[in-house]
Every structure is written in structure tokens, then in C-alpha cells.
Structure 1
Amino acid sequence: MELGIVLVGSGILLMVSFYWIVKPLRTYEEARTEVINERDAKEAIFSTLNEIEFDYQTKKISEEDYQALKQDYEVEAMLLLKQEESETKHFEVNQELEEEIEKEIERELEQEIEAELDKRRKGK
């Protein structure tokens, strides 16, 4: 009976350990896939805009179709660029906030060190 408990416990421990080892790898892969998908979408939109322009220049599509397609894809491109810009600004704001927090922590540490030094100086 004790052997069964030990085997079940070992199995559970092994599965939990495997999960914690694999989890960061999956998270990294998901983030990487998301970045690749965003880049692919951006490339596809701009590539399609170039193709539409080429097709219009070579008279493969009418001016009405050209204007309609171009407008649709330009709107998509602008939305994608605005989203990218928004994410960049969000990152910059977070970075600035992190720097301010680090400076505040440094000031507090310096104050604590000075207070401790003053105590030791007065103690002598």
C-alpha cells in the first residue's frame, strides 16, 4: 500500500515538474507566434496595396475597383499602424514608470543607509 502511495505521489510530482518546465517554453512560443502573425499581416496588407497599384497601372482593374480596393486596404494599414504606435507608446509609458519607481527605491535606500550611518556615528 505504501508503495502505491509513493508511486502515485512520484507520478504527480513528475507531472507538476514537467508542467513548470514546459510552461515558459509554451508562453514564449505563443508570444513569438503573435509577433510573427502581426508582421505577416502588415506585410500582406502592404504587399496587397502594391499589387493593386501594379494591377491598376497595367490596366488589369478599372479605376473604380482600384479606388475602392485601395481605400479599403489603406484603412486596414492605417489601423494596423495606429495599433502598433499605441503599443509602442504603452511600452514607453511603462518603461518611464519603471524608471521612476527605481529612482524612488534608490532614494529610499539612500535615506535608510544614511539613517543607519547616523545611528552608528551617534553610538560611538
Structure 2
Amino acid sequence: MDFIFLIASSIMILTCLYFIISPFFTGKEGKLTEANTGEDTFTLEAIYGAVNELEMDYLMKKISEADYTSLKEQYQLLAAGMMKQGQTKKKQSNTKRGSDKVELEILAELQKLRKQKGR
């Protein structure tokens, strides 16, 4: 009976050692660095979440007021810059749409004139 417990415990110990040591020998180092490079792009939701957490930390007295104000200003400037970029992209797409509409109207008028001259 002791022999069965000895075999079962040795299998369990070897399994635990395998799960502890195996991450050191897998080739996932490159994947981790690739995942970290994507963190440079932020979304507005992520910035708002960071400001919210920053405010909670300040209210819980985890950070000083000077750190809170400086970090909050940095996040607000970052969000404002992203919003400006979004507005300029929208304006460019709106002007493109407007110019497309104008071109279609001009083409329609030209077709009408051609049909009238052809009569």
C-alpha cells in the first residue's frame, strides 16, 4: 500500500515540476515583446479609465496632489490630441463625401444636358 502512495506522490511531484519549469524552455519570449509593442496605441476609453483610476488613487490618498494634477493634465492633453485627430479625420471624410456628392450632381446635370442636346 505504501508503494502505491510513493508512486502517486512522485508522479504528482514530477507533474508540478514540469509545469513550473516548462515556461522557461518555451520560445514565447518573442511573442511577449510583440505584444508589448502594441501598447503604444491608446484609445479614449483606456485614457478615461486611467484618469478614473488615478482619481480613485488620489481620493484614497495613495498619491500626492502634485502627482495627481500633473498626471491628470498629461492624460487630458493626450485625450484632447486624440479627439482633435479624430475630428480632423471626420472633417476630411466629410469634405470627401461632400465633394463626391457634388461630382455626382455635376455628372447627373451633364447627362441631362447631353440628353437634351441629343433630341
Q: TM-score normalized by structure 2?
A: 0.63
Identity of aligned residues (%): 28
Q: CA deviation at 1:57?
A: 1.2
Q: Write the mapping of 1:17-28 to structure 2, written as runs, cut at 5 A.
A: none
**Which amino acid is 2:46 matched to?**
A
Looking at secondary structure, tell me which structure has more helix per residue: 1
Q: From 57, 60, 63, give the equivalent of 2:59.
A: 57
Distance 1:88 1:61 in 2: 38
Deviation string, structure 1 residues 33-90 (Cα, Å, up to 9, x no partner) = xxxx97x622211110111111111111110100110011111000000001111111
SS, match of residue 59 in structure 1 = coil
Residue matched to 1:102 = 104
Residue matched to 2:49 = 47
Residue matched to 2:69 = 67
What number of residue pairs does the alignment pair up? 80
Structure with higher Rg: it is 2
Structure 1 segments of 4+ aligned residues over 2 angstroms from their partners: none
**Which amino acid is 1:68 matched to?**
S
Q: TM-score normalized by structure 1?
A: 0.61
Deviation string, structure 1 residues 79-110 (Cα, Å, up to 9, x no partner) = 00000111111111101000000000001000
- RMSD, aligned α-carbons: 1.5
**Which amino acid is 1:57 matched to?**
L
Residue matched to 1:83 = 85
Distance 1:43 1:70 in 2: 15
Q: Name stretches of at least 5 consecutive residues in structure 1 with no aligned partner.
A: 1-36, 118-124
